[in-house]
Structure 1
Amino acid sequence: MIASLSFTTLIHYSIVLLFIWLPVVTSFEAHPTSNAPRTPRHSLSAHSETTSSLEEDDHGEWVLNPETNRRIKKDGPKWHDFMNGQGGYICHNSKLVPIQLERILTWTQQEEASDQSQKALETADDSVVGATPNTAWRRLAPEILSSDEAPNDVDKESLPFLDELLFAFKPASLLTLPGIGEDKQVCLASLVNEWIPENLTVPPKKRESSDDKKKKKTKKKKKTFVPRPCHRLDYDTSGVLVIGLTRDSLRLTNTMFEQKGVESGSPSKVLKKTYVALVAGAIAQDHGIIDYPIGKVFNEANGYSEFVCLHDDSQRKEDDFVEKSLRNAKTKYTVLNRFTLPVACSTGNNGPSSQDSFVQYTKVQLEPLTGRGHQLRLHMAAIGHPILGDQLHAPNTIVAAAPRLCLHADELEMGVRIDEEQGVCVALVRVRCVPPF
């Protein structure tokens, strides 16, 4: 049969077969086998190899500019020009959402002085119960700083090993740990522990601590360890959070965070946590330290105690606080940007807008020198600059100014131990997460 085919027909069949074979060859070259060996995640070399891809995931988010209808890269030059130059927007649910400036204007004009705490607390509780949690967490890559910046006079055994920690971004509208009730079981801790089996080897290489040596004499079996966050971020606060992958790392990191709450309020050598917030009004000083104690006051109407700040203008007295709950609290603040934006004002009687008023709000960096409940919210409210969207301690107009709490844990620096060929060394790592405002 083949012999009976003409030369032209053979050429035709050859061309057809060539076109069929080429895509197959290309597909094999473009998609290498998935059975290739994977580098262990817990080695330093593996960490440095995966850092680039993690950073691409963290900073490769694109959001739509509603004014130009074009996408801009988060943390890129246009992002900074838009967010820090023009202002008036925050990033919420992957969209740039305008701040309700007229709400801030109303607050400025009325200077609401009524106590909103009871209503705000009820609103905050309702927002958690039955709400759909934001599960868009992601792993963050730490940056190892130079050895010159590492603390030299710190006991090595007081620091956790870097490869026994996992750094994560917690979105707003997500609990750090599970709450009471079936509707509060989805949290960052549960999401991470669902992710770990297929993506991470836990625990890493066993290291014998001094505590383990003491416990060797006992023959009791230890319960299986479940990785757990070493500290908390509020439900409506987003940002960097560190998770202990072993008992030792959890215990040591917990201690580091607890030591930030000492009465002196002095900066820690091995742990520094900073936040970015948007607050109502223009803060006059470029930087300063807020030093007002915080404690708990029993709310008879609601039947539980709530955090309250004792400051110069408050109507509270020390006797109002639950016994031994009032403790020293210090927050360092640095103004990053002051915004003054126009708001169209109506002439009244549903008439047209004839003139502009100007609204001011401030982007500020906050460093808690102590660790008290609701410290940043309370301190900013105490100096007359409540955080936008704060349902707990801000007037209703400021709550309505933003669709979420404008508070974000943007950076964490901490001392860690690292295994190297010449032995264990102390290093300082920094983890960053781009603020959404």
Structure 2
Amino acid sequence: MEIKKIISEVNGVRLDKFLTDYFQEEYNFSRSLVQKYIKDGMVSVNDEIVTNNYNVLLDDDIAVTIPDPKTLDVKPEDIPFEIVFEDDDLIVLNKPNGLVVHPAPGNETGTLVNGLLFKIKKLSSISGVMRPGIVHRLDRFTTGLMIVAKSDEAHKKLVEMLKNSEIKKIYRGIVHGVIHEKDARIEMPIGRHAGDRKKMAVTSKNSKNAITNFHVLDTFAKFSLVEFDIETGRTHQIRVHMAAIDHPILGDPLYASKADAKEPFGQYLHSYQLEFIHPITNKKMLFKCEPPKEFIDKINELER
């Protein structure tokens, strides 16, 4: 059982909506599940049990009791994804577009983890029953390479490697606008957006340092094809940084325009390359994965 303490940074928002937005990225709770938690007395505001109709006020002290997940909540499902490499300790896979990485209470099906449980007999247990093997995540609409741990020893070492920036991650993306600089470095702190809990933002409040290096591969009439080398791994880092310099990722439903949310493919951001030392064998590992067909088709369209 876990208790989350939240200090509200908004005013006049219904409690169930506020909490659903707040937990979207970490837990992906459905609104109905949040309403059940409130109804069952698992949510208090300023040390008092409240109802769903309560409107959150600025600086409210909110406590949410999150029950431990049950093992039976996550069932194996035959979900298609490509395994690029596999040994006794880890997997490198190619995540398709639109696939959520792990389940959350109220959303237990149709995720990468459900697919992993179907294909893989053994996954590390360190991240708990809802996230077996998950060392790091990609956003739902980000495609490409991801590492999954099969052994607990590999999992622990991979987490430490991520923390120490010992796993080199290269992304490719299509962004709005023509970027005239060939190479640039963005160093801006990222934290939770004050007005929208689904979003992150460049902010000095409750934030962490974030560094994104990028190289422009090609430019078109109104867009640029960019390669990103990230030194840190903050939530939505590339998307937030590029939006902050007025070059948001094409198709990004959160940080680009409303029209981008209607882009059929989703956001054009792809985890292109992973480079690291194998945590158990100490061998150098290098993987590259070309973007999906829709991504390539969009580049061809922009070139024309």
Asked if structure 2 preserves the Cα contact closer than 8 Å seen for 1:134 and 1:172, the reply is no
Match of 2:189 in 1: 293
2:114 corresponds to 1:190: yes
Match of residue 218, structure 2, among 337, 340, 343: 337
Distance, in Å, in 1 between the alignment partners of 2:198 and 2:260 is 24
Match of 2:200 in 1: 307
Distance, in Å, in 1 between the alignment partners of 2:193 and 2:119 is 40
User: In structure 2, do the counterparts of structure 1 residues 401 and 227 end up closer, same or farther at CA, with 3 Å as the change threshold?
Assistant: closer
Percent identity over the alignment is 28
2:287 corresponds to 1:431: yes
CA-CA distance at 1:417 after TM superposition: 5.1
User: In structure 2, do the counterparts of structure 1 residues 277 and 246 end up closer, same or farther at CA, with 3 Å as the change threshold?
Assistant: same
CA-CA distance at 1:167 after TM superposition: 1.0
Structure having greater relative contact order (Cα 8 Å, sep ≥ 6): 1
CA-CA distance at 1:370 after TM superposition: 0.9
Could you tell me which amino acid in structure 2 is paired with residue 368 of structure 1? Answer: I
Match of 1:376 in 2: 238
User: In structure 2, do the counterparts of structure 1 residues 276 and 371 end up closer, same or farther at CA, with 3 Å as the change threshold?
Assistant: same
Match of 2:150 in 1: 245
Match of 1:139 in 2: 83
Could you tell me which amino acid in structure 1 is paired with residue 202 of structure 2? Answer: C
Could you tell me which amino acid in structure 2 is paired with residue 166 of structure 1? Answer: I
Task: Give the SS at the match of 2:174.
Answer: strand
2:179 corresponds to 1:283: yes
What value does the CA root-mean-square deviation take over the aligned residues? 3.4
User: In structure 2, do the counterparts of structure 1 residues 287 and 193 end up closer, same or farther at CA, with 3 Å as the change threshold?
Assistant: same
Could you tell me which amino acid in structure 2 is paired with residue 431 of structure 1? Answer: F
More helix by share: 1
Task: Give the SS at the match of 2:157.
Answer: helix
Asked if structure 2 preserves the Cα contact closer than 8 Å seen for 1:298 and 1:305, the reply is no
2:94 corresponds to 1:169: yes
Task: Give the SS at the match of 1:362.
Answer: strand
2:91 corresponds to 1:229: no
Task: Give the SS at the match of 2:141.
Answer: coil
Distance, in Å, in 1 between the alignment partners of 2:179 and 2:29 is 31
Which entry has the higher C-alpha Rg, 1 or 2?
A: 1
2:278 corresponds to 1:385: no
User: In structure 2, do the counterparts of structure 1 residues 203 and 332 end up closer, same or farther at CA, with 3 Å as the change threshold?
Assistant: closer
User: In structure 2, do the counterparts of structure 1 residues 305 and 134 end up closer, same or farther at CA, with 3 Å as the change threshold?
Assistant: same
Task: Give the SS at the match of 1:243.
Answer: strand
User: In structure 2, do the counterparts of structure 1 residues 134 and 292 end up closer, same or farther at CA, with 3 Å as the change threshold?
Assistant: farther
Match of 2:39 in 1: none
Distance, in Å, in 1 between the alignment partners of 2:277 and 2:118 is 28
Task: Kindly provide the CA deviation profile for residues 91-129 of structure 1, in whole angstroms up to 9, marking residues without a partner as x.
Answer: xxxxxxxxxxxxxxxxxxxxxxxxxxx9xx89x99x997
Asked if structure 2 preserves the Cα contact closer than 8 Å seen for 1:134 and 1:173, the reply is no
CA-CA distance at 1:327 after TM superposition: 1.7
Distance, in Å, in 2 between the alignment partners of 1:178 and 1:400 is 25
CA-CA distance at 1:382 after TM superposition: 1.0
User: In structure 2, do the counterparts of structure 1 residues 251 and 278 end up closer, same or farther at CA, with 3 Å as the change threshold?
Assistant: same
Distance, in Å, in 1 between the alignment partners of 2:192 and 2:150 is 33
Task: Kindly provide the CA deviation profile for residues 388-437 of structure 1, in whole angstroms up to 9, marking residues without a partner as x.
Answer: 11011111133345531111101101111565xxxxxx321112221122
User: In structure 2, do the counterparts of structure 1 residues 169 and 129 end up closer, same or farther at CA, with 3 Å as the change threshold?
Assistant: farther
Task: Kindly provide the CA deviation profile for residues 1-34 of structure 1, in whole angstroms up to 9, marking residues without a partner as x.
Answer: xxxxxxxxxxxxxxxxxxxxxxxxxxxxxxxxxx
Asked if structure 2 preserves the Cα contact closer than 8 Å seen for 1:331 and 1:366, the reply is yes
Aligned pairs for 1:21-420 (under 5 A) are 135-141=79-85, 163-182=88-107, 184-197=108-121, 202=122, 227-260=132-165, 270-299=166-195, 304=197, 306-310=199-203, 318=204, 321=205, 325-340=206-221, 360-401=222-263, 403-416=265-278
Distance, in Å, in 2 between the alignment partners of 1:237 and 1:392 is 13
CA-CA distance at 1:179 after TM superposition: 1.9
Task: Give the SS at the match of 1:405.
Answer: coil
Could you tell me which amino acid in structure 2 is paired with residue 429 of structure 1? Answer: M
User: In structure 2, do the counterparts of structure 1 residues 187 and 332 end up closer, same or farther at CA, with 3 Å as the change threshold?
Assistant: same
User: In structure 2, do the counterparts of structure 1 residues 381 and 305 end up closer, same or farther at CA, with 3 Å as the change threshold?
Assistant: closer
Could you tell me which amino acid in structure 2 is paired with residue 251 of structure 1? Answer: K
Asked if structure 1 preserves the Cα contact closer than 8 Å seen for 2:94 and 2:144, the reply is yes
Q: Which runs of 4+ in 1 moved over 6 A?
A: 127-130
Task: Kindly provide the CA deviation profile for residues 297-324 of structure 1, in whole angstroms up to 9, marking residues without a partner as x.
Answer: 332xx6x4741114xxxxxxx4xx3xxx
